[in-house]
Structure 1
Amino acid sequence: MENNKTIKIGRLLAKVRSVKRLSQEDVEWASHISRKTISNLENDEQIPNLYTFGKLAKALGMKPSDLLIEIEKNTNYLLVIDQETEEKD
């Protein structure tokens, strides 16, 4: 089994946006990032650079560092589940 640990933040961005009851259009307006780019980011078709990441965090009402912490927490959780699955195989 291939050991590919890619951090995908798109789902987390979409989850945070949903929890905060924001539409992609709301985030577009607050961040000045196009809705198409937001969609691409949420679908992991694009990776945000630091500038874009900061603008997204601000549009989501978070500090970039807090958003990074959320990503790290979710990534660690997913890695544990992945490791448990590999051990069963």
Structure 2
Amino acid sequence: MADDKKKIGALDGAQMTPEGLSFKGFILSPVVENCTGCERVVPFEGANYCPTYADPAKKWSHGICNFATHVKATVDKEGKTKINPLKASKRAARGR
């Protein structure tokens, strides 16, 4: 019950404009298919929007959205952690 009230209040003050949904000075784009199942998605006037990020398509274009609540992080097949390329090049220069 509390989650329903929180979702309803998530887009309080939002207005539909010709450009899209205006919320706190930003124009929100409708969510993309990858966002299906996320807890942050809020319906507004027949469409679903993400109040956390204005353009969900851009967020998913670089991989997994870091705001997604329905996707779990995966470990690479070798089990190694990813190393910052800048640090790796410095280590290689020092001979480590």
**TM-score, normalised with respect to structure 1:** 0.26
**TM-score, normalised with respect to structure 2:** 0.25
If asked which structure has higher relative contact order (CA below 8 Å, sep 6+), I would say: 1
